[in-house]
Chain A
Amino acid sequence: MLSIVKRILGQMKNDKRSLGLLLFAPLLVLTLLFFILGDSNYLPQIAVYDMNEKFVLELENHATVIEETEKPEASDYLEANRIDALIWIDSAGTHIELLEKNSKSAAALEAIQATNQALQPSQNEPIIDYVYETSGDNQLDSLAYVFLGVISFFFVFILSGMSFVRERFGQTLERMLMTPISRIDVIGGYTLGYGLLAAVQSVVVILYAVYVLQLRVEGSVALCTLVMILMAFSAVSVGALVSIFANNELQLVQFIPVIIIPQIFFSGLIPIDTIPFGLGNLCYLTPVYYGCAALEMIMIQGKGFLEIWPWLAGSVVFIGVLFLANVTALKRYRRL
Chain B
Amino acid sequence: MKIAVCEVNKAFKQQQVLKQISLTIDSGRIFCLLGASGSGKTTLLRIMMGAISTDGGSVTIGGTTVPNRQLLSAMGYMPQNEALYEDLSVWQNLKFFAGLHRLNRKKFEADAEALLQIIDMAACKNKLIRDCSGGMKKRISLAVALIHKPKLLLLDEPTVGVDPVLRRKIWLYLRQLRNEGTTILVTTHVMDEVTQCDDAALLRNGHIIAKDTVKNLIDQTPDGNIEELFFIDTQSESEESSC
Contact = CB atoms under 8 A, between A and B. Distances in A.
Contacts of B82: 170
Nearest to A16: B87
A212 interface: no
B79 A336 contact: no
A6 interface: yes
Nearest to A182: B69
Interface in B21-51: 49-51
A14 B84 CA distance: 14
Interface stretch (A130-138, A172-180, A308-316): A172-180
Interface in B3-21: none
A336 B50 CA distance: 8
Interface string B99-115: 11110000000000000
**A2, A6, A170, A182 interface centre (most CB from chain B within 10 Å):** A170
B88 A179 contact: no
Given A171-B79, A179-B101, A333 B84 contact: no
B232 interface: no
Contact of A10 (B52, B69, B92, B101): B92
B87 A14 contact: yes
A7 B72 contact: no
Given A180-B73, A333-B51, A335-B52, A171 B81 contact: yes
Contacts, number: 80
Interface string B66-104: 011110110101011111111111001000110111100
A98 B52 CA distance: 68
Interface string A299-333: 00000000000000000000000000000000001
Of A6, A175, A336, which is in contact with the most chain B CB atoms at under 10 Å from its CB? A175
B75 A336 contact: no
A180 B69 contact: yes
Interface in A1-44: 2-4, 6-7, 10-12, 14-15
Given A174-B79, A179-B101, A334 B67 contact: yes
Given A15-B87, A334-B51, A335-B53, A175 B79 contact: yes
B33 to A, nearest CB: 17
Nearest to B145: A175
Contacts of A7: 85, 88, 92, 96, 99
Nearest to B102: A180
Interface residues of A, number: 26
B107 to A, nearest CB: 15
Given A7-B92, A10-B92, A170-B81, A181 B68 contact: no
A179 B97 contact: yes
B77 A178 contact: yes
Given A14-B87, A334-B67, A176 B92 contact: no
B128 interface: yes
Nearest to B129: A14
A3 B96 contact: yes
B51 A178 contact: yes
A3 B100 contact: yes
Most buried by B among A12, A178, A180: A178
Contact of B101 (A177, A180, A335): A180
A5 to B, nearest CB: 10
Nearest to B70: A180
A6 B88 CA distance: 11
Given A178-B51, A335-B51, A3 B92 contact: no
A6 B98 CA distance: 13
A4 B144 CA distance: 16
A90 B203 CA distance: 98
A178 B96 contact: no
A172 B88 contact: no
Contacts of B89: 14
A179 B128 contact: no
A10 B85 CA distance: 10
Interface of B: 49-53, 67-70, 72-73, 75, 77, 79-89, 92, 96-97, 99-102, 128, 144, 148
Given A14-B89, A170-B81, A171-B80, 7 more contacts: A2-B99, A7-B85, A10-B87, A14-B87, A14-B88, A172-B83, A175-B83
In the complex, the 8 A-B pairs of residues with the closest C-beta atoms, listed nearest first? A3-B99, A179-B100, A171-B83, A11-B87, A180-B73, A14-B87, A335-B67, A178-B77
Interface of A: 2-4, 6-7, 10-12, 14-15, 170-172, 174-182, 333-336
